[in-house]
A and B are shown apart, each in its own frame.
Chain A
Amino acid sequence: MQVPQTVSIDVQQRKYTPVPTEKYNSATHWYLSFLWRSPGLVLLSLGISLISVFLTLFPSILLGQAFSILQSEGFSQTFLLICLGIIVTALLSFGITFVANYSWTIAAFRYERDIRQEFFDIIQEHSMTFHDEIDSSSLLSMAMNEISQMRMGVNPSMRMLSSSFLSMIFITIIFLAFDPIYFLIALFGFPLYLFLVVRYAAVIGPIREELASRLAVVTRDSQEIFRGIEVVRSFNKEDQENKRFALGSANYADIVTTEGRLSAFFWPALVLIALTAIIFGLGLINLADNPTTIDTFTSSVSMLLSLQFLNFMLPMAILNIRAGKANADRIWSKMTWQDPVPDTAQEGVIPDWGGEIVFEDVSFSYRSSSKPALKNINLTIPSGSRIAVIGGPGSGKSTFLKLLLRLYDPTDGQIKINGTPLTEIPAAEIRQGVTMVEQEVFLFSASVRENIAFANPNASDEEIISAAENAQALKFIEKLPQGFETRIGERGSKLSGGQRQRIAIARAILADPKVLLLDDSASAIDSKTELLLRRALDKLMEDRTSIVVTQRLRTLIESDFIVLFDKGEICAYGSHDKMLDSCPQYQMIFEALPEVVGGRF
């Protein structure tokens, strides 16, 4: 089979439209949207499966006819024809079943692809508040495992359910032609069977979920302990951890046993057994009365025997459909997450970067925390000025930067740019003018070029090379195996820390922001990198408003003013000299600056 290596759909041309969650009004609606997403395939499949289910049963009818003829005429031409009929039906049935199932399957995988994409697109659009609150590993597991589970609910489960259903209906109808009593038995027996299967699934479903969660405990425990094995050892906690694990493992064994008992004793099967036995008994009596009923006897017994597979398939299908629904609910609740501060900015409002940025009584609290991260911030940042920000961890300095990027909106007060509140400017417009270089550099597993041109994918080669050069990165990039086309591994793992930082700086240089936010609070470890980095940062800060979190003495001295944060408040600001003179907290921090400590040593 030839595998297409390139994808038929041109990625560049695909229109990016995050599917509005309004399109579906509930999790169930979204889950069941499979049925009308690929209407052609699904209708084709449903239509054909009517034929396919009938063709699967038809050989049993022919079998009955064959016995009837064999009984009355012996080995005749008609008999042979009927036997050939069985073979032809089998071939037809194979072809038609394949088409029916395969079209359903294609529709299902398409559905899986699309809902996964929808999930990602919507989740990505959620504000940073969402991403702070929800662990990305749980989102990943939703996107991969749980969405696969939803597809499993659709295919094969819904298909199995519908074909089982059709089989029972057809058999009931065929029985009507055979014998009114058979018909009545099927008419009551099958619904009873179905009813019991559904009840059974309702009992075992929650136990399956409990099983999964207890297994997760076992995995989590062992993962945690082996990652921290040195700690466990050095505190003599081996026995304690053993006990904890043994408890988790025993709990899991318990639930496996319970689940095993319930799924082993699948009591709805008894209905089907009774049904088959009764028809067998009645058939025998009829046969004794009237030997020509051999056709209905053999046909009906054959059909019922072939239904035994339902005992395996139906509970599985129903459990999968239930599990898919439960997953859809969970995922949907993340997709419909309500932003506490929705973006109400009008399209087209463009910030005027020539004006000053003013913080007016700005306070901010993260949703997960009861304590404010920033309190009553009042500050004016003139256009083109250089601001240094300093303060301990948790002092609010990085929150301060994030507000400027409009990753969050203030809980109270306003940030204005030339008089326009940031909340009235679309986030995308703000981020066009503001660029942040974070402490923990994040690069994508793409080529060096793609990473540098991240802000501006249409940048020319010259622009990219010049950005790399200014970021002191050109030399090492040229030494890479494929230069700018070198792929840098997951999160840039093929590069050193200093190299990653310089790529991030090149990225920011190319973005050419009006306002630069730079978190430079700790840095690479050897002196060569340090020097290169300094020069790169100097280039980056040229000719723009820059707000730098720093501990570098020179940056502090050269900045127009320094803002000192403490516990979410601005506790002092002013020039280096002024602060050193008057602010005891600044003096203390100054005292601990590496340059000062190192110089004294």
Chain B
Amino acid sequence: MAHSRGRGPHGFFVDTKHKKTRSTKQLLKMLWGYLTPFKGLLLLSALLIFAYAIGSIISPLIISEGLDAAVATVRPDIDFLLLLFVVFLVLSLAIWFFNALNTYILARLQANMLHNVRTDVFDRLVFTDMSFHKQEQSGNVTSRVTSDTQELAVGVTVVTNASSQLLLTFGTFFLLLATSWIITGIALLAIPVAAILASILGTLGRKIMYRVRKSYGEVSGQMAESLAGVSIAKSFNREEWSSSVLYKLNQKTYQYFKQMGAIFNFMFPAISMVSMILVALTLIVGGWLPESTITLGSIYLGTILVQRFLSPILHIAMYYPQLQSSLAAMDRVADVLEQKPQVIDSLNAKSLTLHDTSVTLDNVSYEYVKGTPVLQAVTLKVEEGEKIAIVGHTGAGKTTLAALLTRFYDPREGRILIGNQDLRDIKLESLHTSIGLIPQEPYLFADSVLENIRYGNPEVSDREIDELCKLIGADDFIEALPNGYKTMLQESGKGLSSGQRQMITIARTMLADPKILVLDEATSRLDAYSESLVQHAQKVLFEGRTTFVIAHRLTTIRDVDRLAVFQKGKLVELGTHEELLVKDGVYAELYHTYYAHQGVEELAEVYKAPTPEPTSMSEVMSAGMAKMMQGHDMSPDHIHAMMNERGVSPEEMYKMMEEREFNPEAMRKMMKERGLNPEDMHAKMGEKGH
């Protein structure tokens, strides 16, 4: 086929390892579903393929007719020869045209079908349950939309190409049979040869191709790493090392590429060689046959036709793995298309009325996998405007709770109410308008700072955004960016600190102005400056909203009204920070291992902190602070001496922690034994200080 973008022998090397979950019949049916809108084009294409095949078969026949007509008769009929010339010319043009038109129609069909499949898949993915997205990496999801659908379209080309090749091969076969059965026999020799070549490609070729891919991937990985770490290589003067590590892999890949080259360079000359041998054999047999049974023209026809066998058979053999791979892609696409979202608007869903924005969890349970509950019978009422921190170890179910509140999932049991409306009876759109979610990883789009903030509410003007940013204190750093609010961000957020990214997501959510807020704090610690910035912004954000915050920062748990403590999916404690500390249970332990040390560089320094009582920023003016500091002897020696007085040196403390693999419980016990209760240490320090 002239100039259709074939895949060459690479068809052999497509990855066929995917396991299909649907039968071939089912998959073909689905594929057909996408082809039906183009039935007309398909029919036209089929006709064109047919016409093309017929033309291609007749064309050599005309050559042989001409040959016979010119040499066989004593006085050749010049007019007839001219006619043959014209017929040959017209036929060649027609073949070209049929093929070109068909290629064009298929390209068009493919493009439109691809567009339909892609938008369907995309549409489904955008609306599908969050549980699907949680299972899959975003890279995989993207490949469903881009490469899998592409593979599907390639499948269509393969089918049409294969049918055209098959038609051609059969036509040629019958024409040959009509010419001479012996020559047909010679042509059939092509089949075992094709089988041998195909098996070489399929075994050795595939093995080498696998190595090439793997090794090429290693080069790519090394290159990515070296580029990302270029400043380290520079800092340690180790550019040469980076270069030689790369060279080693590069050299290995070259060795495999050479092997691959050997296979390919063997394959194509081998095909022409075999074709030529078949031509020679045809000549011998044709010449050996008595002149009465076969004309010169027919022998010539035979030499043309036998060359037409090997290549198509080989091609058809190569289409099979490609087809398999397309069906596997259809299978994966079908996985997406057949997703039935569980979380959808019910028939009698209403808009959320915002009279009462208290949130009630009523006996809520959830499990991702049957038999392993993530949340168990959680009952909790959060009053309108109340701020509640959700705390607990990793795996306690905090993030799941956030996902249930935003109705990314529905509870397996129990219900969640806003005011007295069940989440399941609220229109999703109205729910999402009223509930704001700030996910743990601040996600920014590859757009300007301004547009990223405006995502929260497209209606607002630049000025309003500017004012909002001033209000939450984001203005300063945004103005300091290279192009201020117009600075383009990268998806990765490169160029912004994690605190700055958080500030932008806070501004975005402020703009959307949700009445209920679910915030999953980032786990990474911020530097002190960003910390105070974010803390301030959060305060503004929380104002007047019912707020759930999965807290990772000390400053946050300090600012909320109540804390809900989760352990293994159960709500185990609920109350204020002070209440829970007194209780000395799960929270107290959590606080001492996880939160408290955020302010504790070393135990020695805990005691250095000037005020024992929880105090707000405004109460302790900085000037006053300084004076209080001066009142103390704050030299490290003094602190060491103080600790020694009580029988624990900092070195001992290190040792204790290390040897016990840091068992906080044991630590605290030991400290108590030695009269070193951290809680009352504050008080004692205070006394001593004043």
Contacting residue for A105 out of B119, B225, B265, B490, CB 8 A: B265
Whole-angstrom CA separation of A237 from B452 in the bound complex: 13
Contacting residues, chain B, for A446 (C-beta < 8 A): 245
B276 touches A87 (CB 8 A): yes
Contacting residues, chain A, for B47 (C-beta < 8 A): none
Contacting residues, chain B, for A74 (C-beta < 8 A): 287, 291
Asked whether any CB of chain A lies closer than 8 Å to the CB of B256, the reply is: yes
For the complex, count residues of A whose C-beta is within 8 A of B: 187
Asked whether any CB of chain A lies closer than 8 Å to the CB of B16, the reply is: no
Contacting residues, chain A, for B296 (C-beta < 8 A): 67, 70-71, 294
Contacting residues, chain B, for A436 (C-beta < 8 A): 235
Whole-angstrom CA separation of A94 from B193 in the bound complex: 15
When A14-B247, A435-B235, A455-B238 are in contact, do A597 and B220 touch as well, CB less than 8 Å?
no
Contacting residues, chain A, for B406 (C-beta < 8 A): 233-234
Asked whether any CB of chain B lies closer than 8 Å to the CB of A592, the reply is: yes
When A235-B456, A445-B225 are in contact, do A393 and B497 touch as well, CB less than 8 Å?
yes
20 CB contacts below 8 A, A to B, read A16-B244, A70-B286, A86-B277, A87-B280, A90-B273, A113-B254, A233-B130, A233-B432, A245-B122, A366-B482, A393-B500, A407-B231, A455-B238, A521-B527, A528-B662, A594-B554, A595-B606, A598-B606, A600-B615, A601-B599
Contacting residues, chain A, for B133 (C-beta < 8 A): 226, 229
B250 touches A249 (CB 8 A): no
Tell me the chain A residues, 123-143 only, with Cβ under 8 Å from chain B. Answer: 123-125, 128, 131, 135-137, 139-140, 143
Asked whether any CB of chain B lies closer than 8 Å to the CB of A484, the reply is: no
Q: Which of A136, A584, A590 has the most CB of B within 10 A?
A: A136
Contacting residue for A557 out of B103, B208, B636, CB 8 A: B636
A287 touches B67 (CB 8 A): yes
Asked whether any CB of chain A lies closer than 8 Å to the CB of B445, the reply is: yes
A-B contact count (CB 8 A): 530
Asked whether any CB of chain B lies closer than 8 Å to the CB of A238, the reply is: yes
Of the listed stretches A26-34, A347-355, A374-382, A548-556, chain B binds A548-556
A83 touches B280 (CB 8 A): yes
Asked whether any CB of chain A lies closer than 8 Å to the CB of B620, the reply is: yes
Tell me the chain B residues, 417-443 only, with Cβ under 8 Å from chain A. Answer: 429, 432-433, 435-437, 439, 443
B76 touches A56 (CB 8 A): no
A551 touches B528 (CB 8 A): yes
A274 touches B89 (CB 8 A): yes
Q: Which of B82, B99, B303 has the most CB of A within 10 A?
A: B303
Closest A residue, CB atoms, query B479: A371
Tell me the chain B residues, 225-265 only, with Cβ under 8 Å from chain A. Answer: 225-248, 250-259, 261-262, 264-265
B532 touches A66 (CB 8 A): no
Whole-angstrom CA separation of A136 from B490 in the bound complex: 12
B636 touches A558 (CB 8 A): yes
Closest A residue, CB atoms, query B555: A597
Closest A residue, CB atoms, query B139: A223
B599 touches A90 (CB 8 A): no
A16 touches B122 (CB 8 A): no
Report A516 CB to chain B, min CB distance, Å: 12
Tell me the chain B residues, 477-504 only, with Cβ under 8 Å from chain A. Answer: 477, 480-483, 490-491, 497, 499-500
Asked whether any CB of chain B lies closer than 8 Å to the CB of A184, the reply is: no
Asked whether any CB of chain B lies closer than 8 Å to the CB of A51, the reply is: no
Contacting residue for A298 out of B111, B300, B526, B654, CB 8 A: B300
Closest B residue, CB atoms, query A110: B254
What are the interface flags for B1-23 relative to A under an 8 Å C-beta threshold, 1 for contact and 0 otherwise? Answer: 11111000000000000000000
B236 touches A431 (CB 8 A): yes
Asked whether any CB of chain B lies closer than 8 Å to the CB of A591, the reply is: yes
Tell me the chain A residues, 515-570 only, with Cβ under 8 Å from chain B. Answer: 521-523, 525-528, 530-532, 534-535, 551-554, 557-558, 567
List 20 other contacts, CB 8 Å, given A229-B126, A407-B235, A455-B238. Answer: A7-B248, A16-B243, A71-B71, A75-B287, A86-B276, A105-B261, A105-B264, A136-B224, A140-B227, A220-B446, A233-B432, A241-B126, A263-B103, A269-B2, A269-B3, A287-B71, A491-B225, A532-B658, A598-B600, A600-B609
Q: Which of A102, A105, A393, A523 has the most CB of B within 10 A?
A: A393
Q: Which of A256, A301, A601 has the most CB of B within 10 A?
A: A601
Contacting residues, chain B, for A252 (C-beta < 8 A): 111, 115
Asked whether any CB of chain B lies closer than 8 Å to the CB of A91, the reply is: yes
Asked whether any CB of chain A lies closer than 8 Å to the CB of B84, the reply is: yes
Closest A residue, CB atoms, query B455: A235
Tell me the chain A residues, 353-411 only, with Cβ under 8 Å from chain B. Answer: 366, 368-371, 391-394, 405, 407
Whole-angstrom CA separation of A266 from B491 in the bound complex: 41
Whole-angstrom CA separation of A102 from B257 in the bound complex: 11
Q: Which are the 6 A-B pairs with shortest beta-carbon distances? A: A598-B599, A599-B609, A260-B107, A281-B85, A587-B622, A90-B276
Whole-angstrom CA separation of A274 from B577 in the bound complex: 91
B288 touches A75 (CB 8 A): yes
Asked whether any CB of chain A lies closer than 8 Å to the CB of B30, the reply is: no
Asked whether any CB of chain B lies closer than 8 Å to the CB of A146, the reply is: no
When A113-B253, A233-B130, A308-B2 are in contact, do A393 and B269 touch as well, CB less than 8 Å?
no
B250 touches A117 (CB 8 A): yes
Report B660 CB to chain A, min CB distance, Å: 10
Closest A residue, CB atoms, query B278: A90
A86 touches B239 (CB 8 A): no
B112 touches A1 (CB 8 A): no
Contacting residues, chain B, for A263 (C-beta < 8 A): 3, 5, 103, 107
What are the interface flags for B29-73 relative to A under an 8 Å C-beta threshold, 1 for contact and 0 otherwise? Answer: 000000000000000000000000000000000010011011100
Report A494 CB to chain B, min CB distance, Å: 14
What are the interface flags for B107-139 relative to A under an 8 Å C-beta threshold, 1 for contact and 0 otherwise? Answer: 110111011001100110111001001000011
A93 touches B269 (CB 8 A): yes
A592 touches B303 (CB 8 A): no
Report A520 CB to chain B, min CB distance, Å: 10
Asked whether any CB of chain A lies closer than 8 Å to the CB of B525, the reply is: yes
A236 touches B429 (CB 8 A): yes
Asked whether any CB of chain A lies closer than 8 Å to the CB of B644, the reply is: no
Whole-angstrom CA separation of A427 from B605 in the bound complex: 40
When A229-B133, A253-B115, A444-B229 are in contact, do A599 and B525 touch as well, CB less than 8 Å?
no
Contacting residues, chain A, for B233 (C-beta < 8 A): 124
What are the interface flags for B574-602 relative to A under an 8 Å C-beta threshold, 1 for contact and 0 otherwise? Answer: 00000000000000000001101111111
Whole-angstrom CA separation of A446 from B76 in the bound complex: 82
A260 touches B104 (CB 8 A): yes
Asked whether any CB of chain B lies closer than 8 Å to the CB of A481, the reply is: no
B238 touches A249 (CB 8 A): no
Contacting residues, chain A, for B4 (C-beta < 8 A): 264
B258 touches A106 (CB 8 A): yes
Asked whether any CB of chain A lies closer than 8 Å to the CB of B350, the reply is: no
Report A403 CB to chain B, min CB distance, Å: 13
Report A442 CB to chain B, min CB distance, Å: 5
Contacting residues, chain B, for A106 (C-beta < 8 A): 258, 261
Contacting residues, chain B, for A531 (C-beta < 8 A): 602, 653-654, 657
What are the interface flags for A220-243 relative to B under an 8 Å C-beta threshold, 1 for contact and 0 otherwise? Answer: 101111111111111111100110
Tell me the chain B residues, 381-400 only, with Cβ under 8 Å from chain A. Answer: none
Contacting residues, chain A, for B145 (C-beta < 8 A): 218, 222, 226
A83 touches B284 (CB 8 A): yes
When A70-B287, A87-B277, A554-B601 are in contact, do A600 and B227 touch as well, CB less than 8 Å?
no
A261 touches B104 (CB 8 A): yes
Contacting residues, chain A, for B108 (C-beta < 8 A): 257, 260-261
Asked whether any CB of chain A lies closer than 8 Å to the CB of B677, the reply is: no
Asked whether any CB of chain B lies closer than 8 Å to the CB of A165, the reply is: no
Contacting residues, chain A, for B571 (C-beta < 8 A): none
B597 touches A124 (CB 8 A): no
Contacting residue for B146 out of A75, A218, A238, A590, CB 8 A: A218
Asked whether any CB of chain A lies closer than 8 Å to the CB of B404, the reply is: no
A227 touches B443 (CB 8 A): yes
Asked whether any CB of chain B lies closer than 8 Å to the CB of A469, the reply is: no
A253 touches B114 (CB 8 A): yes
B272 touches A139 (CB 8 A): no
Whole-angstrom CA separation of A227 from B84 in the bound complex: 65
B433 touches A236 (CB 8 A): yes
